[in-house]
Structures are given as C-alpha cells and as structure tokens.
Structure 1
Amino acid sequence: MGNHALLSPSSSHRWLSCTPSAVLETEFENKSSNAAEEGTAFHALCEHKLKKALRRRSKRPVSAFNSDEMEEHSDAYVEFVLEQFEKAKQTCSDPLVLIEQKLDLSEFVPGSFGTADCLMVSDDTLHIIDAKYGLGVLVDAERNTQLMCYGIAALSVYESLYDIKEVSLSIFQPRRENVQTWTMPVEDLKDWAENELKPKAQMADKGEGEYCPGEWCQFCRAAVKCRARAAEKLRIAEEEFKLPPLLTDEEIESILPMLSDITKWANEISAYALEAALNHGKEWSGFKVVEGRSNRKFSDEDAVAKAAKEHGYTDIYRQSLITLTEMQKLMGKKQFEEILGDLVIKPPGKPTLVPLSDKRQAMNVSDAKNEFNEIMED
C-alpha cells in the first residue's frame, strides 16, 4: 500500500460530494502545508502521551512544532480519551483501546485504507476518536464521513468479537474549543456503507459522475483550475454584486457566508498565476511580475556589532524579557504561578464575525449594538 489511497477516508467528504474530483486531483502535485506538518506533529505527541498514560512503551517524538500550546492540547486529548475509557469500563470489563490503528476499507472503497487516531471497542459500543489540530475549519462529528469510514472498517474486524450495537464518533478539536460526540446505530452505518459509500466510491474510482462545487472544494488540489467551481463563483459574484449603492441588511446577510470562499478562490487563482509565471515562464496577457517592497536588514549581525564597537559605538543592544512561554519553562509551572501568576494577563482576542455554528462563546456587544441602531435610526 502506498502512502496515500486515491479514495482516502480523510478526503471522503470531498469524493462523496463530488465523485470525479479524486481522479482529477491526481493531475496535481500533493504539496504538504505547514498546517499539515503541524497536525502530524500534534498527532505524534498525542499518540506518545496516550501510550504512556496506558502504560505502553513509547519514545517521545521530537518536533520543531512543539510548543506550550501543543503540550496543553495533547494533554487535554489524553484526558478526553481516558474519560471515554472510564465510561466504557462501566459496562464492559475489558474495553479494547487501539492507538493509530491501520484500517482496511477495500471491501467498500477500492484500494482504500486509513489510520484511526483512537479506536475503543466495548461490549455494545465502537467508539472512534479523532484529533484535529486545525484552526481554520470547524469539524463536525455528526455524520462525519471520515469517521464513518473508520467505523465500518473497524466494525468488520471487531463485530465478531463484541456485540456492538452502536458506533460513536468523537471529534477533539481543542484550538476551536470543539469537542463533540455523535452516536449512530450499527444498522444505520451499515446501510450508509452499502447504499451510499460503496456505489459512490466505485464512481469516484473511475472518475465518473458530475462535478459538484461546495465547501468540500477547500482542500481539493484541483480546485484552483476546476471549471465547475469557477462557474459557480462567477455566478454568485454576478448575482450578488449587481446591487444598488446601499445594500439592505438582508442582502449583506446573504453575501456574508459566501465572502470567505470567494476571497479564498480569488487568492488561489492569483497564487496559481504567480507560481506559473515565476517557475514555468508563463506569460499572462496584460500582466507582468514585479518585485514587491522589502525592508533593509543586516547581512551578518556579529560583523555589524564588531564594526560598530571598533568605531566606539557600544550602546547597540536592546534588552528585552524572554517570552512568557520561555519564562514558564525556566521556572517550571508551579514556581511560575507563585512568582509571576499575578502579573500574567490574557487580553481579549480580536473580535471576529463567524457563523452561529461556531462553538465559541459570543461576545457581549450589546452596548455597541445599541449605539449602531441609534445611528441607523437617526
């Protein structure tokens, strides 16, 4: 098996929604992103800590992405898994906990396989727990096709050993304060696998079916050149922006959900065009590549310091405190709390307008709201 299945569980939402996209994506290079590498580091740390908590052998992974934030979130993940383990033990004497479990999905999806972060099998429940370190997209547990794929693959292995009646899907997305579990009866999962997953996977494997743009385009490698997506975005732009100078509140509300995707699509087209011009000599009619603005900087700081001192300039260093994270590491959490706890503040984050489906607590903006309404009424 290669590193990536054409029809992987992690991209299932995409190829189930737009069946020809998987084959189309193979024409584009699969580039790793910084966010993906950070996610891999988070998973490795979670795996290590969970193994240690369950008294299994593990060597701590070393990564450039490790940070205080990642330490805290991986601790919280382990805590969540152990809570589920304790719940499972209440109804089953020997629940099985499988970490980073390889699963074969080829019975339902041609050549497909994947790795579940954590599988917990008990007498009546199969529980799939998936850690997400991403910040950009809020991941929903309800009818999550990636976890349902893991569920059906795990079921075919373990239902002969356990009397599994339901399958629970958990998403643990700490940076979005999103921890949710959704449970479905085994019959529903089998019905979905047979009547939706299997036929659509066969179409996707052959590149058949209709192109269908939607929010699943976000991580599709072919999205930047996809004609169906371009047509959809231009149609939205035409419809929504042929508007009078003053928009009504209703018009703004209808445009808001589309803006981020239209902006992202526009940025992707720009990035693609620039990359083609820079690296492949592509000339776009009416456009040229120019050098952007940059700031001056020293080429060699040690040589600069030496030369300045030789000419009598000694007051050339700025003293600054080490960062809060470094200070906590230096002192240890307990000492840090005792010595500096009262001097640490957490300023409010920058206000951001998000859909109601976002799990974060709404800010109290009633004063500003009243002020705005008064202005509008005047």
Structure 2
Amino acid sequence: MRMHSILSPSGSHRWLNCTPSARLEQKFDDNESEAAKEGTAAHALCEHKLKKALRRRSKRPVSDYDSDEMEECSDAYVDFVIEQYEKAKQYCKDPVVLIEQQLDLTEYVEEGRGTADCLIISDDLLHIVDFKYGKGVLVEAEDNPQMKIYSLGALRLYEALYDIKNISMTIFQPRRENVSTWTISVDALKEWAENELKPKAQMAYKGEGEFCAGEWCTFCRASVRCRARAEEKLKLAQTEFKLPPLLSDDEIAEILRIIPDLTKWAGEISTYATDAAINHGKKWNGFKLVEGRSIRKYRDEGKVAEAAIEAGYKDIYRQSLITLTEMQKLMGKQKFEEILGDLVFKPPGKPTLVPNSDKRQAINVNNVKDEFNEITEDI
C-alpha cells in the first residue's frame, strides 16, 4: 500500500499553486476511490511484470480489478521501460534499473517521501518513468512538479555515485495513448527547488498563503466545500448573458471554455450533498430525498425463459459475438491479425469541440460529413 505524506509529490501541483490546501484537506476523510484502487492494482501488476522481464523474483499479484485492458497496458509499460533500458546500454556499459524506489524528499519538503515507479541510471543521465493508469486527465511530463520532486529525491540517493548532469522524465499513460518525456539539467532543477519548491513547501506545511482556485482543484478533498473555488465557478452565473442569438462569437467561445469545468464542479456539489443526505442524515434546506427512476429487471432469467417457452414464445434470445478484446485474447495478437485483421475497422469518432490546447489534430468538416454518410449508407 502506498503511503502519502501531507505534502505528497502527487498533490504537488495543487499545494504549489494553492499553498493552504494541503492543511485544509486534512479536515476531510481520505477515502480511496475505486479509480485509485484500480490504479494501485495496475501499478502492482506493472511492478511484477517489469521484475520478471529483468529476471528478478516476483510473485504475480491478484486483484479484483484484473482485466484484459490492464494486461495490455502493463505489457506496454514494460515494453517501454525495457526499450529505454536497451537504449541506455548503447552508451553505458552497466545502466541500473530501480523499481518502486522509495525516496526521501525532506531536503526540500517537510516530511516528504515518495515512490518512483522506475529509475534508469546510465552514467550522466537519470531517467524517471511514471506509470499513470488513469484516463480522465491527460498528464504531461513537461515541467511536471511531481516528476521534478521525484528527481530531487533520486538525486539525493545517487548523485554521489554517478555524475548525473541531466534528468529525463516520462509519463506513461496508456489509456490516453500518452507517452510524454521532458528533460531538464540538474542545475536548473536544483535552482527551481531552492527558489520555488522549498519556500512554497514551507508555506504549505504551515497552512499559510492565499487560497487559489484552478484546474489543480480537481483531486483536492476540500474542493467541494472550498469557498475560493465556489466563488470562481459562480462568476459565470453572476454574468447576465443575453439570449444565445445575441451573443458575440467571442462571448460564446468564452462560455464554451468555462462550461466543462463549471458543470463538473456542479456535479461534484450535487454528489456530495446527495451522499451527505443518504449516508449521514444531512437535511438540506429546501431539498428532500425521493426515490429515483427505476428500471424493471427479471427476478430469475432461467425461470423467465422457461415460462415464456412454455407459453409458446420461442424467439426470446439474442446472439452476439464476443468483444474484440476477448476475441484477440482467445486467438492471440498474431492469429487475430491473420484471421480477422481485414474484417476489423475503426470508424471515425463523433466530432467533438475542444480547446486549441488539445493535442488531437483538427479534422476537416467536409471529410467528416462524407465519412459518416458512407457509414450510414453501409448500415
């Protein structure tokens, strides 16, 4: 089980931007989400497979979250690490690979500690690889504070043994098809640590500074009840927008930019209030608990089938192929391509409007219309 300090590296993006948030979070229960539990299971599987690939002893972990997707993602992670290890061998006679390395971060962060998924040390280069199983938020390596803090911890352990000059940091996020790598010099990293990390970490540990809302609020345990975040999100509601036909293009673009985060925040408030009412008996002024819409279900499908057949109804079953993932696992990747490769296609995804900062390539509207028309005609 991974232990997290008050100023955990994984939360550094948050407490570096909103220094009092770390202490405020202590007032809320640290309940591990299903996504976090799934991520922990994926990390354990990655650790096992990487150790086996490097011919080290390891016992395969068993988890309720095991799935074909997790198998594929962990295999991809191991392939990537081994590829980096082989590259390191080309210019270093004996590179070192460290797995799930415990790091002491107290030189810069009070009570700081962390665990690096994988470190590859090859003479003057330290390469840190961090596995992210989440698919909700795209994580970039560039200027990533968590990775920089890990790098500082790794330097503390190994810079006396190796003449490390540069550090490469890779985020491996397979469910987002994201492999992001960024390199920084040791001198630049230490300058950041002294001038920004250390002073802000001291403030955060003491609970000092100003609350500041931003995209770093996403995983903050206090975010639902945070006044600073509420005030920021309510700015949109405080603006008197005209009817859509009278809005300028710039006004519509600004609303489009704000709406996703606003609706997410509103959903979080609703979820929090509902949970408090159901599980803790909280009474919200002007609101009540009612029974929601329900969907009918069979009590016993076997008995339902028997009764229907006995009554003369025989056309009561559907038959469908197993999923593509199951089929590929059944046949193996190579046989799957040989037998079904020409019979499998990936249709274009539904067009989605996103900010220009999104890394996906823009599509041609006319081409999209043609592709969807072709698919519709085929169907």
| TM > 0.5 fold call | yes
Does residue 226 of the first structure (1) align with residue 226 of the second (2)? yes
Does residue 296 of the first structure (1) align with residue 296 of the second (2)? yes
Distance 1:43 1:187, change over 3 A: same
The aligned residue for residue 70 of structure 2 is: 70
Q: Secondary structure at the match of 1:116?
A: strand
The aligned residue for residue 139 of structure 2 is: 139
The aligned residue for residue 182 of structure 1 is: 182
Q: Secondary structure at the match of 1:224?
A: coil
Does residue 273 of the first structure (1) align with residue 273 of the second (2)? yes
Does residue 42 of the first structure (1) align with residue 42 of the second (2)? yes
Aligned pairs for 1:1-378 within 5 A: 3-239=3-239, 241-243=240-242, 245=244, 246-308=246-308, 315-366=315-366
Does the CA contact (< 8 Å) of 1:104 and 1:113 recur in 2? Answer: yes
Q: Secondary structure at the match of 2:218?
A: helix
How many aligned residue pairs are there?
Answer: 368
Distance 1:65 1:359, change over 3 A: farther
Q: Which stretches in structure 2 are left out of the alignment for 5+ residues?
A: 370-379
> In structure 1, how many angstroms separate the alpha carbons of the residues matched to 2:355 and 2:59?
41
Q: Which sits farther off after the overlay, 176-185 or 35-44? A: 35-44
Distance 1:342 1:286, change over 3 A: same
Residue-by-residue CA offset, 1:309-355 (whole Å, 9 max, x unaligned)? 55565554333322222222333333333332222222222222222
Identity of aligned residues (%): 70
Q: Which sits farther off after the overlay, 189-198 or 204-213? A: 189-198
Q: Following TM superposition, by how much is the alpha carbon of 1:61 offset from its aligned partner in structure 2, in angstroms?
A: 2.6
Q: Following TM superposition, by how much is the alpha carbon of 1:60 offset from its aligned partner in structure 2, in angstroms?
A: 2.6
Q: Which sits farther off after the overlay, 28-37 or 216-225? A: 28-37
Q: Following TM superposition, by how much is the alpha carbon of 1:181 offset from its aligned partner in structure 2, in angstroms?
A: 1.2
> In structure 1, how many angstroms separate the alpha carbons of the residues matched to 2:96 and 2:238?
55
> In structure 2, how many angstroms separate the alpha carbons of the residues matched to 1:349 and 1:151?
38
Q: Following TM superposition, by how much is the alpha carbon of 1:8 offset from its aligned partner in structure 2, in angstroms?
A: 0.5
Q: Secondary structure at the match of 2:288?
A: coil
Q: Following TM superposition, by how much is the alpha carbon of 1:19 offset from its aligned partner in structure 2, in angstroms?
A: 0.7
Q: Secondary structure at the match of 1:120?
A: strand
Q: Secondary structure at the match of 1:160?
A: coil
> In structure 2, how many angstroms separate the alpha carbons of the residues matched to 1:358 and 1:300?
47
Q: Which stretches in structure 1 are left out of the alignment for 5+ residues?
A: 370-378
The amino acid of 2:21's aligned partner reads S
Q: Tell me the TM-score normalised to structure 2 length.
A: 0.90
Give the alignment's Cα RMSD to 1 decimal.
2.2
